[in-house]
Chains A and B, each alone.
Chain A
Amino acid sequence: EAGVTQSPTHLIKTRGQQATLRCSPISGHTSVYWYQQALGLGLQFLLWYDEGEERNRGNFPPRFSGRQFPNYSSELNVNALELEDSALYLCASSTGQALAKNIQYFGAGTRLSVL
């Protein structure tokens, strides 16, 4: 069974541009989560999508946005890129089960470099 897949593996952009990162969840999973792993800041929660709806958002500015498609795959968009957006962006998926059974499985990430 395929795990969580993310594309592209690496992405290089310049300041002010837009970046689009993609994630395909494990088959049967309906929830997708995005996390940012930046040097010196650790892992931080960005967004959670379930059944096509945004359910929760971390402490990030509105230029970080995303969506979930009917096939449960997801996109993360980052507008007006800033140098500090350089980070590893990790996507995770889980079944839409109760909190007591939630396990988030992660992809290998997209490394975004903003020059």
Chain B
Amino acid sequence: AQKVTQAQTEISVVEKEDVTLDCVYETRDTTYYLFWYKQPPSGELVFLIRRNSFDEQNEISGRYSWNFQKSTSSFNFTITASQVVDSAVYFCALLDSNYQLIWGAGTKLIIKP
């Protein structure tokens, strides 16, 4: 079965702290695609990153970084020096062969000033 697990329901940190959001996936496919999206209170899902299973390089984009580890089936997301504007619900997702995104339950991130 294909499944995405985000065990952290809610995380609350003080501004400027670093925070890591966990994502663990299950898939029977040898080639697969993982995503992170951000959902602010407005509701729109904002694309953050896509990772192909055959590309194991970690990625950094400004304060955001992603750690992809096939050995542990994890694709974790770290925000460095968090800001209040980072407050949102973050979703990890797996794209299946029918172009269907399979979603984790989401992690609500609260950044306190």
Which residues of A are in contact with B by a Cβ distance under 8 Å?
31, 33, 35, 42-45, 48, 55-56, 58, 88, 90, 92, 94, 99-100, 102-109, 111
Checking B43, B100, B102 against A48 with a beta-carbon cut-off of 8 angstroms, the contacting residue is B100
Q: B72-90, CB under 8 A of A: which get 1 and which 0?
A: 0000000000000000000
- Chain B residues with CB under 8 Å of A42's CB are 103-106
Number of A-B contacts (CB under 8 A): 60
- Chain B residues with CB under 8 Å of A111's CB are 43
Q: Which of B35, B44, B46 has the most CB of A within 10 A?
A: B44
Interface of A is mostly: strand
Q: B35-47, CB under 8 A of A: which get 1 and which 0?
A: 1010000111111
Cβ B91 vs Cβ A43 within 8 A: yes
- In the complex formed, the residue of A with least CB distance to B102 is A45
